[in-house]
Structure 1
Amino acid sequence: MRLLDRAAVRALLDPDALVEAVATAMIDLSTGRASVPPRVAARVGEIGLLAAMPAYSGTLGVVAAKLLTVYPGNGAVDRPSHQAVIAVFAPEDGSLRALMDGDVVTADRTAAASALSVRALARSDARVLAVLGTGPQARSHALFVAPTRPFEEIRVGGRDPHKVADLVEDLARQGVVARGCTIDGALRDADVVCAATSTLRPLVDLESVAPGAHVVSVGYVPEGREVDPALLTRSQLVVEHRETALAPFPVGSNDLAELVARGKIHPDAVDELGEILCGLRPGRTADDQPTVYKSVGVAVQDAAAAAVVLAAAERTGAGVELAL
């Protein structure tokens, strides 16, 4: 078994390879070549939860499972709200091949899928990118989404100006020039919005973004809402997996599930990202209609990222070999 810590995972997780692997995983999920049972979670009172997320991708030939904790209150004490570990198994005999840190994987595989949604759904003339949030997901989204369009302006919006400034400086070191803003300032007439927050009340509505904007929403906390219901009901909606996304929390998205239950959204009208990527459903259908990609995270994305990391580790000899 190969043990890979956070530094090793970060060094081995090539962004281009990750985007391609996640695209394959999304197509597998939408065409029946992946096995992804619903996420299960144990609640830890009112402060957090522990989720288990197993998956198999036939095309990628990977079997993996992620254990993830979500503690929304950790941000108040400068501790990550999401923490994870991933185990990778050999599909031919079930033997344990690797155990790796899952925090970098979670942030980057989510952003890679979001970047695929921007490629497929954002208007070709999109010029302003708004990233909402200041945590690892916001950072990864800025890095992965920035190359998808010739953006003339990238804005980072958050509640804490010091955290906004820190993220802007960090992105500059990675070659992404961004401007720090308030959340409202970042949203104003933005063509592409990536919301990666722990908000309980909607931040993104029809009036705050440009006509035909593409919105990515990855915030995932109990009772959390990032996108106004009026925007959701008037948008072309895209998810990773209908059955998953339209289920109640902790499996799916509360905001979408409630709108389906109230008859405001019909499940058949919701597209899957993999369906769009392989041509089973069209991409953007109207330039003036908003598009929303609502991500709840699916385990086959973790499996795809873990496969990229493990292949690179085996090529380079990275990590530590252990026998349990």
Structure 2
Amino acid sequence: MIIVPENQIAELMTPADCLVAVEEVFASMAKRSAYNFPVIREAIGYADALYGFKSGFDRANLALGLKSGGFWPNNVQKGLANHQSSVFLFDADTGKCRAVVGGNLLTALRTAAASAISIKHLARKDAKVLGMIGAGHQSTFQLRAAVEQCSFEKILAWNFHPEMLSRLEEVARELELPFEAVELDRLGAESDVIISITSSFAPILKASQVRPGTHLACMGTDTKGKQEMEAGLVAAATVFTDEIAQAVTIGECQHAIERKLLSRADITELGAVITGRHPGRSSPDEITLFDGTGVGLQDLAVASAAVAHAVSRGTAIEVDF
């Protein structure tokens, strides 16, 4: 069995590597050669933790396995990341455990890759202003990945706790892009692309605040009750997602579905755009929305790539198991 510890991931996997792996997964899902198994996510009644599993199988590259982990809100007091996860890969021919891979950084990278892919395929090609809603740990990964897809000229940002916006401002400075902390009305009025990456359970952005032609990437924590966008805004947009089953139950679409403002038939898999079965954006004035719920197949894809890199570079740890 191969072990790729967390401390190796940063040297093994680039954001570009993750984008390629996740884009291939979306395409494989759209072709029905890959599928995700039902998600398990539970509050364990200890340490205020949420714990769960995401798993699946991709027949195209024989990626079989699961990501196990969750959210421990008190970890920051222990000098640890609140999000903790590990990916387990299994041999599709025998069922033997093939590899265990540190999943913390990979989760951040693959989540950012998913929104970047949505920007690549759905945002207007002349998009110039990027709006960021949320300034937590994941936000910097989102920002770095997004700017690789469009020639953004300015970054606007808003957060529940404005003092946290300094982390995004620092990244914008590194990228040599102007940065402004603004109110939501201005962010919505000026942004061509908006990424939301929060753990909100109440709508932050309203339909009246978003201008025609905007692309929205809703990437915040997905669970029952989560909400970053007003249900009417979701219904007004052309909606895409990684997996429809998750979007309507734990994703941004759930509230519009519950209020019957949106139906499952109104939601398109992003993989259908990647494979050419759906045209994606149909006009410059169309509002597009990507509901990124995060699927197990993404984790398996980036973990498999990390294992391949570790083996080729001779840094993989091999143990009898």
- Amino acid in the other structure paired with 1:235: A
- Amino acid in the other structure paired with 1:52: F
The equivalent residue for 1:31 is 31
Distance in structure 2 (CA, Å) of the matches to 1:240 and 1:131: 21
The equivalent residue for 1:10 is 10
Please state how far the C-alpha of 1:75 moved relative to its aligned partner.
Answer: 7.0
Please state how far the C-alpha of 1:187 moved relative to its aligned partner.
Answer: 4.0
The equivalent residue for 1:274 is 271
Please state how far the C-alpha of 1:80 moved relative to its aligned partner.
Answer: 3.8
State the Cα deviation string for residues 126-168 of structure 1 (Å, max 9, x = none): 1100122222321111111111111111234323344221342
Native 8 Å contact 1:27 1:277 kept in 2: yes
> Is 2:218 aligned against 1:217?
yes
Alignment match of 2:259 (pick from 262, 266, 269): 262
Distance in structure 2 (CA, Å) of the matches to 1:81 and 1:274: 31
Q: Report sequence identity in percent.
A: 25
The equivalent residue for 1:321 is 318
Unpaired segments ≥5 residues, structure 2: none
Distance in structure 2 (CA, Å) of the matches to 1:83 and 1:135: 15
Native 8 Å contact 1:53 1:67 kept in 2: yes
- Amino acid in the other structure paired with 2:278: R
The equivalent residue for 1:246 is 248
The equivalent residue for 1:304 is 301
Distance in structure 1 (CA, Å) of the matches to 2:307 and 2:207: 42
- Amino acid in the other structure paired with 1:154: I
Distance 1:307 1:286, change over 3 A: same
SS across alignment from 1:293: strand
Distance in structure 2 (CA, Å) of the matches to 1:76 and 1:7: 21
Root-mean-square deviation (CA), in Å? 2.3
Unpaired segments ≥5 residues, structure 1: none
Please state how far the C-alpha of 1:74 moved relative to its aligned partner.
Answer: 6.2
Native 8 Å contact 2:5 2:102 kept in 1: yes
> Is 2:140 aligned against 1:147?
no
SS across alignment from 2:283: coil
Please state how far the C-alpha of 1:69 moved relative to its aligned partner.
Answer: 0.9
Distance in structure 1 (CA, Å) of the matches to 2:64 and 2:141: 25
Distance 1:183 1:57, change over 3 A: farther
Native 8 Å contact 1:236 1:290 kept in 2: yes
The equivalent residue for 1:103 is 104
Q: How many residues align?
A: 318
State the Cα deviation string for residues 10-59 of structure 1 (Å, max 9, x = none): 21112222212111111111221013111112222393321111121122
The equivalent residue for 2:129 is 128
Distance 1:19 1:233, change over 3 A: same
The equivalent residue for 1:231 is 233
Native 8 Å contact 1:24 1:59 kept in 2: no
Distance in structure 2 (CA, Å) of the matches to 1:118 and 1:176: 20
Please state how far the C-alpha of 1:176 moved relative to its aligned partner.
Answer: 5.7
Native 8 Å contact 2:307 2:316 kept in 1: no
> Is 2:73 aligned against 1:69?
no
SS across alignment from 2:69: strand
SS across alignment from 1:212: coil
State the Cα deviation string for residues 235-289 of structure 1 (Å, max 9, x = none): 0000111122212xxxx32x52332233211211111011111011220123212
Distance 1:196 1:207, change over 3 A: same
Distance 1:116 1:321, change over 3 A: same
Distance in structure 2 (CA, Å) of the matches to 1:176 and 1:225: 32
Distance 1:86 1:171, change over 3 A: farther
- Amino acid in the other structure paired with 2:279: P
The equivalent residue for 2:60 is 59
Distance 1:159 1:78, change over 3 A: farther
Distance 1:193 1:73, change over 3 A: farther
Length-normalised TM-score, structure 2? 0.90
Distance in structure 2 (CA, Å) of the matches to 1:62 and 1:148: 27
Native 8 Å contact 2:238 2:288 kept in 1: yes
Please state how far the C-alpha of 1:71 moved relative to its aligned partner.
Answer: 4.3
